[in-house]
Amino acid sequence: MLITTPAFKNGEKIPRKFTCEGGDMNPEFQIQNLPQGTKSLAFLMEDPDAPGGTFVHWLVWNIDPGAAFIKEESKPSKSVEGTNSGGAMGYMGPCPPRGSPHRYFFRAYALDAFLSLMPGAKRPEFDAEIAGHVLAEAELMGTYERH
């Protein structure tokens, strides 16, 4: 399984337009090479370098595996979003403290089921729900530093 974006390559800087200093919109993502039996996809964006511990920027699940494509500045059709660490639903772009470079991990999960989580669920509920249903996962990492 593979996750890519035309916005940046693995390990490179995330363009400003996808951060709190820009448009604060999600980049486009393509998810490829799904394993047989994939019934849905789930997506997570997190910052393990946040001062208060890992910060969840985006949680999305029940993504149609037939699409395997997340458009820029949108959530996948018929998917469900969870609550990020900022307390809101939806994408929250990178926004580290000034002068502190952070890593942002984008993870896609191929699941053998649809999740029954309610909209607005948080990371612990998400982790518990996907446990035992992950067929494969892919990761992409980008960096960002505010000046």
**Residue 28 neighbours by CB distance under 10 Å:** 16
- The token duo for 12 is 């490179």
- Which pLDDT score, from 0 to 100, does residue 67 have? 82
- Which pLDDT score, from 0 to 100, does residue 120 have? 98
- Which pLDDT score, from 0 to 100, does residue 26 have? 96
Which alpha helices (DSSP H) does 79-122 contain, by range?
none
- Which pLDDT score, from 0 to 100, does residue 69 have? 83
Q: How do beta strands 29-32 and 69-70 pair?
A: antiparallel
Rg (CA), the chain: 14
Of the candidates 106, 108, 27, 42, the residue with the CA atom closest to the CA atom of residue 72:
27
Question: Each residue of 13-48: pLDDT tens digit?
Answer: 999 999 999 999 999 999 999 999 999 999 999 999
Question: What is the chain's pLDDT, residue by residue, as a tens digit (147 residues)?
Answer: 999 999 999 999 999 999 999 999 999 999 999 999 999 999 999 999 999 999 999 999 999 998 878 999 999 889 999 999 999 999 999 999 998 899 999 999 999 999 999 999 999 999 999 999 999 999 999 999 998
Of the candidates 58, 70, 66, 61, the residue with the CA atom closest to the CA atom of residue 3:
70
Q: What class, spelled out in words, does domain 2-144 have in CATH?
A: alpha beta
- Under 8 Å between Cβ of 75 and 29: no
Domain ranges of the chain: 2-144
